[in-house]
């Protein structure tokens, strides 16, 4: 440790720490533009110049390491003069369009100019003008405002792993752009908007919709994948206007994926369902909640509960899933499931294995070796992929076992040949068992190549290693076999094994036992039931959407709890109940590492829509069931947490050794087709990742 004096205040710091970090830790403000704690040091804006005793000129605080006895002044005449000079140069070419700039009110240049700018410019020549770039449907560009801080460039290169922006030219002819005109296609591209200290990069969907000081911020949790990214929902007059990240180092650091950032557009979609509807004599009628719920309950009471299938989206809250399974079991149905994209349920007979990340999210970047099985992690869980990328950059061995090769943003070995995913994983499991001197009967006939041996050797030699099963594996016809092989590989290499949940609350669904313990699974339910109760689901959420549509049409009675009104649902439903979306309700999500995160309502539900847990509570009362008296979501949550039986289950991963099908039958789900909300976000649907076809066979 060394002692540094800043503005007369003595501070202890680690030798080699940058001066700006030490000052930030002591809450001593130093202006900056190019510096960001998550990016490399560029030292090109010079706004952080400070007066260091013994130095003949001001030094940049972001690139000056502290030494013992260093004396620094940030408010001396020398420092102030240097900072004012830098500000004057920055404003020479900056346009005076603050009144129409979306960055107004949260612009770092505005804030710093208040302290270090002048009210008169000595520059009388014409300002330079830079043409705007078409960066795609998510980011709007006004490059005349750019001050060349290069934060966006460094983010793409260092964090997103895709150098989509760069600098061309020198001096005042320098421009930030894509060089060859193209869109910015990274699944994390929206973070460039947050990083930009001026209004050069702004949100295209948010552009010109409101002023930032009119917005009210609400802390919330992202509702589209199992990371549980912390977000802030910004509203105006109870309407959601945009979503931005909220810092949580243990989970999403300061980033969020584009899926979490731009999906809010669907909240105001044209097909939002705002009133309850019932079908009478084949014709739809708009009605009130009392009649709709009575109609739904009477319809379900007329059905043998043993022939009632209950299915829900795992993006539902913990409270909603708990009440729905409680309602289903209360009226006599045990056919309860959320695993709508899974096709192989043969391992269920051995018990239900909770999909979860066995390590913490932050620990992933500390692994020495990572094996991804049946996963395009970059598109499935972009935030977790950033952690794997960090591990790779630190020298970790990353291996991907997939049906075909995918485009990753870091160095890895892809085992994606004609042998197929199951065969390659079996070979790895056999090699690991052989190296440990263990004979595994069900692997006796498996042959192992030298390339496989080399990868397994690296895995065994790693001090810390992780095996991750992704979405492709979970949708595979041989999912149970893949689990068994991955479990064998993990045991013989001393690796942690994680089956990665995809949706926001899959871990929560297991926690509240939203599973067919004594009833039928999704596949069995779709073979035919008398009635269905669906929550937050559409046919596109099933592995076989056509089969799902047919099953629902053939049923006698179908109750759909949905936020959206569409022709397909009208064809097979008898009742459609409008429910609130993630920003319009309070609840809890349990992320992939088991962290419970509760959130409050940020906006009022549209029209006459209601929070799903409230709808289920009333339905429970209409069925005369006990335990449906809660008046606040916290009461429901307390009931879940107090239940000693709701613990995560990790069953023995064992399955019949029968290979059912091959990799060719697995079709990936595009990241912007994952749920009903993202499918209705117009901006996301204009990106390449919205196309299902481009996600098949390894194409990006």
Over residues 396-410, the pLDDT tens digits come to: 999 999 998 999 999
Among 414, 402, 399, smallest CA distance to 472 is for 402
Greater confidence (659 vs 184) lies with: 184
Domain topology for 362-500: Dimethylsulfoxide Reductase; domain 2 (3.40.228)
Over residues 408-460, the pLDDT tens digits come to: 999 999 998 888 899 999 999 999 999 998 888 888 888 899 999 999 999 99
- What integer is the mean pLDDT of 488-494? 94
Output the pLDDT for position 645. Answer: 46
| Tokens 């040091």 found at | 41
Over residues 9-44, the pLDDT tens digits come to: 999 999 999 999 999 999 999 999 999 999 999 999
pLDDT band at residue 182, thresholds of 50, 70 and 90? confident
Output the pLDDT for position 258. Answer: 97
Domain chopping of the chain, boundaries: 2-92, 126-268, 277-345+506-642, 362-500
Over residues 518-549, the pLDDT tens digits come to: 999 999 999 999 999 999 999 999 999 999 99
- The whole-model pTM stands at 0.94
The correct answer on CATH 3.30.70.20 for the domain covering 126-268 is yes
List phi, psi (to 5°) of 240. Answer: -75, 125
Among 375, 255, 259, 241, smallest CA distance to 685 is for 259
Average of per-residue pLDDT values in the chain: 92
Q: Based on the number of CB atoms within 10 Å of its own CB, is 561 exposed (0-12), middle (13-18) or buried (19 or more)?
A: buried
Over residues 410-421, the pLDDT tens digits come to: 999 999 888 889
Over residues 76-87, the pLDDT tens digits come to: 999 999 999 999
pLDDT band at residue 647, thresholds of 50, 70 and 90? low
Residue 694 has pLDDT above 70, yes or no: no
Cα–Cα distance, 369 to 379 (Å, whole number): 20
Pairing of strands 2-6, 71-73: parallel
Instruction: Show the tokens assigned to 325.
Output: 């399974």
Residue 696 has pLDDT above 80, yes or no: no
CA distances from 680 to 271, 674, 683, 686 (A): 9, 11, 9, 11
Cα–Cα distance, 163 to 173 (Å, whole number): 21
Identify whether the C-beta of residue 11 lies closer than 8 Å to the C-beta of residue 32.
no
- What integer is the mean pLDDT of 602-627? 95
Percent of the chain with pLDDT over 90: 81
Residue 280 has pLDDT above 80, yes or no: yes
Residue 168 has pLDDT above 80, yes or no: yes
Residue 653 has pLDDT above 80, yes or no: no
- What integer is the mean pLDDT of 110-127? 89
HSE of 499, CA atoms in CB hemisphere, 13 A: 22
- What integer is the mean pLDDT of 503-532? 95
Output the pLDDT for position 219. Answer: 97
Output the pLDDT for position 244. Answer: 97
Over residues 366-380, the pLDDT tens digits come to: 999 999 999 999 999
Output the pLDDT for position 377. Answer: 95
Q: Based on the number of CB atoms within 10 Å of its own CB, is 322 exposed (0-12), middle (13-18) or buried (19 or more)?
A: buried
Percent of the chain with pLDDT over 70: 95
Q: Do domains 126-268 and 362-500 have the same CATH topology?
A: no
Cα–Cα distance, 140 to 207 (Å, whole number): 8
Output the pLDDT for position 183. Answer: 85
Instruction: Show the tokens assigned to 5.
Output: 């004096």
pLDDT band at residue 605, thresholds of 50, 70 and 90? very high
Greater confidence (251 vs 647) lies with: 251
Q: Based on the number of CB atoms within 10 Å of its own CB, is 207 exposed (0-12), middle (13-18) or buried (19 or more)?
A: exposed
List phi, psi (to 5°) of 151. Answer: -60, -45
Q: Which one-letter DSSP state was computed for residue 57?
A: S
Among 301, 311, 113, 104, smallest CA distance to 207 is for 104
Output the pLDDT for position 177. Answer: 87
Residue 700 has pLDDT above 50, yes or no: no
Output the pLDDT for position 440. Answer: 84
pLDDT band at residue 664, thresholds of 50, 70 and 90? low
Output the pLDDT for position 698. Answer: 40
CATH class of 277-345+506-642: alpha beta
Residue 655 has pLDDT above 80, yes or no: no
Q: Say whether 23 sits in a helix, a strand or coil.
A: helix
Output the pLDDT for position 657. Answer: 54
Pick the CATH number of 2-92 from 1.10.10.10, 3.10.20.740, 3.40.50.2300, 3.30.230.10: 3.10.20.740
């Amino acid at each position: 440790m060394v002692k540094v004096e800043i503005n007369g205040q003595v501070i202890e710091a680690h030798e080699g720490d940058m001066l700006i970090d030490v000052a930030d830790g002591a809450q001593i403000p130093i202006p900056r533009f190019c510096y960001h704690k998550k990016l490399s040091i560029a030292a090109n804006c010079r706004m952080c110049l400070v007066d260091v005793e013994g130095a003949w000129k001001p030094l940049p605080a972001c690139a000056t390491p502290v030494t013992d006895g260093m004396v620094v002044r940030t408010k001396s005449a020398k420092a102030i003069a240097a900072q004012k000079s830098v500000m004057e140069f920055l404003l020479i070419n900056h346009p005076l369009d603050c009144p129409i700039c979306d960055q107004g009110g949260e612009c770092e240049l505005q804030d710093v100019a208040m302290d270090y700018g002048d009210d008169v410019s000595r520059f009388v020549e014409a300002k330079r003008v830079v043409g705007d770039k078409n960066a795609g449907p998510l980011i709007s560009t006004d490059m005349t405002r750019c001050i060349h801080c290069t934060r966006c460039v460094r983010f793409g290169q260092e964090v997103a792993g895709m150098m989509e922006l760069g600098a061309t030219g020198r001096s005042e002819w320098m421009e930030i752009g894509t060089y060859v005109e193209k869109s910015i296609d990274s699944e994390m591209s929206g973070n460039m908007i947050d990083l930009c200290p001026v209004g050069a990069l702004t949100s295209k969907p948010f552009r010109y919709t409101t002023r930032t000081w009119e917005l009210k911020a609400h802390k919330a949790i992202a509702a589209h994948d199992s990371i549980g990214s912390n977000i802030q929902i910004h509203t105006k007059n109870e309407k959601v206007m945009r979503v931005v990240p909220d810092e949580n180092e243990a989970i999403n650091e300061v980033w969020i994926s584009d899926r979490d950032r731009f999906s809010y557009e669907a909240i105001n979609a044209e097909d939002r369902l705002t009133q309850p509807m019932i079908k009478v004599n084949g014709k739809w009628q708009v009605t009130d909640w009392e009649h709709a719920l009575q109609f739904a309950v009477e319809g379900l009471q007329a059905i043998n509960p043993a022939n009632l299938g209950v299915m829900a989206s795992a993006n539902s809250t913990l409270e909603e899933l708990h009440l729905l399974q409680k309602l289903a079991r209360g009226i006599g149905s045990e056919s309860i499931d959320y695993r709508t994209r899974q096709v192989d349920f043969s391992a269920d007979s051995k018990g239900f294995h909770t999909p979860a990340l066995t390590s913490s999210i932050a620990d992933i970047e500390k692994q020495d070796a990572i094996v991804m099985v049946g996963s395009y992690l970059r598109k499935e869980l972009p935030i977790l992929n950033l952690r794997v990328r960090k591990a790779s950059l630190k020298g970790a061995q990353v291996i991907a076992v997939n049906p075909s090769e995918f485009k990753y943003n870091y160095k890895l070995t892809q085992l994606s040949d004609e042998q197929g995913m199951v065969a390659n994983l079996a070979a790895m499991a056999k090699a690991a068992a052989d190296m440990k001197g263990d004979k595994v009967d069900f692997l006796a006939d498996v042959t192992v190549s030298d390339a496989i041996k080399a990868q397994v050797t690296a895995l065994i030699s790693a001090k810390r290693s992780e095996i991750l099963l992704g979405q492709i594996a979970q949708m595979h016809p041989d999912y149970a076999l893949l689990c068994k092989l991955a479990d064998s590989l993990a045991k013989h290499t001393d690796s942690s094994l994680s089956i990665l949940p995809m949706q926001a609350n899959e871990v929560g669904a297991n926690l509240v036992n939203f599973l067919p313990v004594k009833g039928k699974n999704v596949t069995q339910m779709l073979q035919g039931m008398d009635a269905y109760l669906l929550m937050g689901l559409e046919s596109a959420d099933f592995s076989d959407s056509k089969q799902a549509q047919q099953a629902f049409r053939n049923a006698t009675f179908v109750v759909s709890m949905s936020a959206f009104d569409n022709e397909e649902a009208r064809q097979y439903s008898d009742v459609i109940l409008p429910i609130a979306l993630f920003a319009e309700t309070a609840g809890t999500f349990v992320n992939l590492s088991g962290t419970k995160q509760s959130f409050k309502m940020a906006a009022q539900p549209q029209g006459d829509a209601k929070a799903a847990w409230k709808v289920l509570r009333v339905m429970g009362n209409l069925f005369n069931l006990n335990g449906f008296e809660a008046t606040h979501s916290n009461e429901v949550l307390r009931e879940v947490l107090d239940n000693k039986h709701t613990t995560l289950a990790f069953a023995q991963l064992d399955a019949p050794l029968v290979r059912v099908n091959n990799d060719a039958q697995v079709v990936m789900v595009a990241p912007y087709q994952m749920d009903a909300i993202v499918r209705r976000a117009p901006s996301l649907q204009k990106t390449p990742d919205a196309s299902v076809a481009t996600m098949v066979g390894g194409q990006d």
